[in-house]
Amino acid sequence: MQPYPDNPHDWALWLFKELENIQRTDSHWQGVLPTALVFDDIVRLLPHELIGPTNQTTRTVEFHPAHCNVFGSMDELVMGLRRREALGLFTVRELNYTHGRSQTVPPIISNYLDAVRLWKLLVSFSDYQREQSIIFIKTFEAKIEIRAEYSAQDLAKLGNLCSFATEYFESEHHREQKRNIVRASLLEVFKGELKVIFSSLLAKFDDFVDRVKASYSLYTADFSFEKLRLEVEKQNVDDTLRVNKIFSDIQNQLLALPAALMIAGAGVKDGIWSTNLAIFIGLTVFVWVMRQLIKNQQNSINSIHSEVQLRVQRVELQPVDISTKVLPLFESLTDRIVSQRRVLRNVWLAVLLVWLVATVMVAHAQFPGVFRAALAAIFTSGFE
């Protein structure tokens, strides 16, 4: 024995298959349950939303298939909330179609699903929603209300809805601008009308799409590849000059490095503590000041690098065919930043080297015996 259905939808189909003398009466259907089936058991199993009055004597069962998403025609399907929200599971008997199960989708079903999708897309861009209506407002006087009213006869093929939805409604690129364009296009299509029904938009869908595409093309003309490339190149030149200036700002201070070393070499006196200490302290202060200058320049170049990365991220948000052509323009600037960081690091190493050499000079002049003994110990241990 075949198991009984496990959901109201399939129970409705089961009744159409099993009942005898099925006929429609007003808003419901009725039929006679075969004697091979236990009447009380079947009535007890039938979902409450499906079943109507029953008569055990005549074995008559009344039922409401539309309550369980089984419809006789498209006219029954396209009613009420179903105009705005497609059911996950439903059957249209005149088409012999069950949504989600039938392999072949009739054109009118595709048109219905597209209509529901278009309604949801418009809802996502609307200024606010009220019961069965969505409202688009540009100004106090420029606004339009679209009511979710259409019939099966209004369903038509919405060409390229998938690509249109992906590019203009679901993409995050220029989303707010596209929302403004959709609003303006609806106001143009229904110029002078404050309230329209959704079937009117279905009939004018191609006109609506053409207006949206044309308006967006005009908008994006200000964001062409050529303009973006020129802006990136101009900013890159400015950033390169800023990077170069970072090193030139401390060039005069760098000239003091060899001078400091010469002063240390000429001024150090054997055994004169005051002179040697003054030279050592002066040189240490000089090294500390140089360190602060170099840190300041390193912070400046890090700031420039952060700005460049932000510009790179903004370019990456552009369409791929544009971003792939513009991103290579940042390579030379990035290389220059890396090179300048390396120069600043080497400058700091040079400053440390000057301090180290001067320290050795002072130590040798002030403590010659200790210094020579230390060197001897170092070399001796090195050759053992």
Which pLDDT score, from 0 to 100, does residue 264 have? 62
Strand runs (DSSP E) across the chain, as ranges?
20-25, 28-32, 51-55, 60-63, 70-71, 91-92, 97-98, 128-130, 133-137, 143-147, 195-197
pLDDT tens-digit series, residues 239-271:
888 888 877 776 666 666 666 666 665 666 666
Indicate if the pLDDT at residue 188 is higher than 50: yes
Mean per-residue pLDDT over the chain, rounded: 85
pLDDT tens-digit series, residues 298-310:
898 888 889 888 8
Read off the pTM. Answer: 0.59
Mean of pLDDT values over 346-366:
79
pLDDT tens-digit series, residues 204-215:
999 999 999 888
Inter-residue contact 291 to 240 (CB < 8 Å) = no
Nearest Cα to 114, choosing from 213, 207, 201? Answer: 201
Indicate if the pLDDT at residue 384 is higher than 60: no
* pLDDT category of residue 83 using cuts at 50, 70 and 90: very high
Mean of pLDDT values over 66-94:
95
Report which secondary-structure segment, H or E, holds 379. helix 368-383
Inter-residue contact 205 to 185 (CB < 8 Å) = no
Question: For residues 234 and 143, what is the distance between their CA atoms, to the nearest angstrom?
Answer: 42
Residue 72 or 252, more confident: 72
Residues 202, 198, 113, 49: is their CA dihedral positive or negative?
negative
Mean of pLDDT values over 51-76:
95
Indicate if the pLDDT at residue 79 is higher than 70: yes
State what percent of residues in the chain have pLDDT above 90.
Answer: 45
How many C-alpha atoms does 81 have within 13 Å on its Cβ side? Answer: 4
Which pLDDT score, from 0 to 100, does residue 195 have? 93
pLDDT tens-digit series, residues 126-143:
998 988 899 999 887 789
* pLDDT category of residue 1 using cuts at 50, 70 and 90: very low
State what percent of residues in the chain have pLDDT above 70.
Answer: 85
Residue 123 or 336, more confident: 123
